[in-house]
Amino acid sequence: MVFILFFNRAIQPFSVVYDGFHERRCIVEYLKKINGEENVKSLGWRNTNKYGKEITHTTAYTSDQRIFIVEYENETGKHLKSFFVKRPLEVTQKHLEQYKLHEKEVYAYKTILSEFEKYVDYSIIPKYYYSDNKNNLVLEDLRAEGYRTYKQHEFLDFEHSVKVMQVLATYHALTHKLITVSTQLFDHDAAKDYAHKIYNEDKNFHTLCREGILKILNRVDSSFVKKYEDKLKIFVDNVTQNSANEIKPKSDSFKVFAHGDFRSGNLMFKYDKYQKLEDIKIIDHQTGYISDPSIDILNYFTQSVEFEIFEKYFYLLLEIYVNSLNRLLKYLRCDQIYTIEELRSDMSKKYNTIICHTILHLPFALSDPDDVDMDLLQNDKSSLDNKHFQQLSEKWFKYFIKNSVNIPSFGIFF
């Protein structure tokens, strides 16, 4: 069997010395590994982004995204295989070094997520192929398999949300199983808490949250801000520290390896010829941490569905999630179950966190992935005037802030 790799060079404005060597080596080593074939020849390479276009600028949050097309021939004839390659970017090097996001993603795929196949015979994530000591990560190219992102700037409907809750329940059940049987997988530094660090250490993020909350609330209801001015000031000064405490798993809580940035932008969908939804894959696993399931569920609702869908179907979708989760927990022979009462209780303790996550993540969800403002990447407070920040849902902030008045765990109004 002979494998031939073909690519054409593209200019990389942020990495003058980049030549694709490590990516090619990853793929070649993978092909040798699965085929026992030494006769693999690299003849050049073509560099494209996830949309199949040559990259002219780079805006990805934690890593560049390249497609490597492999041509090979075996006894059945010629074939093409497409690989999705992620690698650290110089343009976001400071952020990468501070929070080790790319290292976390490589570790998640290589050590944690790859364990899923021991328990189920289907996949809810891209297949992991290979990584090297440079943190080059080679994954299944989902677009070549018929998956795509959802319509840009449109929220998901009820039908999609049902399937999303089922897929998320599977993800949480599998990670809960791993936490109970393989705790050592989560002891590595790369599996530790990105979210806790950003809440405790990132001064730019602290400024963004403090100023952003008051700015949005003034837009939503200035009389409310005036009425609670003193207590709101205390709240915004402590919101990030409160968030860090909220997401820490309690000793008796139902623990999962939360995705940490679970929203429509980190999902890919596959449809049949009649455009009926067939399957969903979860992507971008660089912000995971151990918590309870509610953080991923709340992130999804605040960033991926219309507020009206939330109001109408929220509790029904929670039931779908819990029922799916417990069925799989039973199949996996886990001792614990997770009741809807526990889920709702966990959610009631996440108001600080969801307000912060909405400010941090929703502008990304609203942005065109090929035109993300660099202020957003750096948590710069100038992003408060960004057009995407102006689109943050006033309804969500009114709901979370005003409902928090009646929730003791929120604490600031009592």
Q: Are residues 107 and 186 in the same domain?
A: no
This prediction's pTM = 0.83
Which of 140, 163, 190 terminates a domain? The answer is 140
Residue-range definition of the domain harbouring residue 7:
2-140
Q: Are residues 49 and 102 in the same domain?
A: yes
Q: Are residues 49 and 156 in the same domain?
A: no
Q: Where are the alpha helices (DSSP H) in 192-274?
A: 194-201, 203-227, 229-247
Given a cut of 50, whether residue 144 has pLDDT beyond it is yes
Question: Domain holding 387: CATH number?
Answer: 3.90.1200
User: What proportion of the chain, given as a percentage, has pLDDT over 90?
Assistant: 28
Q: Are residues 111 and 174 in the same domain?
A: no
DSSP state of 149: P
Q: Are residues 292 and 228 in the same domain?
A: yes
DSSP state of 372: -
Residue with tokens 């912060």: 356
132 band by pLDDT with thresholds 50, 70 and 90: confident
Question: Mean of the pLDDT values across residues 125-133?
Answer: 85
256-258/289-291 β-pairing:
antiparallel
413 band by pLDDT with thresholds 50, 70 and 90: very low
Q: What is the pLDDT of residues 30-57, one digit of tens each?
A: 766 665 555 555 444 555 554 445 443 3
Which of 87, 114, 140 terminates a domain? The answer is 140
- Residue 296 included in any domain: yes
Q: Are residues 110 and 199 in the same domain?
A: no
The angle formed by the CA atoms of residues 108, 109 and 111, to the nearest 5 degrees, is 70
Q: Are residues 345 and 204 in the same domain?
A: yes
Q: Are residues 36 and 152 in the same domain?
A: no
**Of 81 and 291, more confident:** 291
Q: What is the pLDDT of residue 90?
A: 59
Q: Are residues 287 and 176 in the same domain?
A: yes
- Residue 257 included in any domain: yes
Domain count of the chain?
Answer: 2
Q: Are residues 199 and 104 in the same domain?
A: no
Mean pLDDT over all residues of the chain? 75
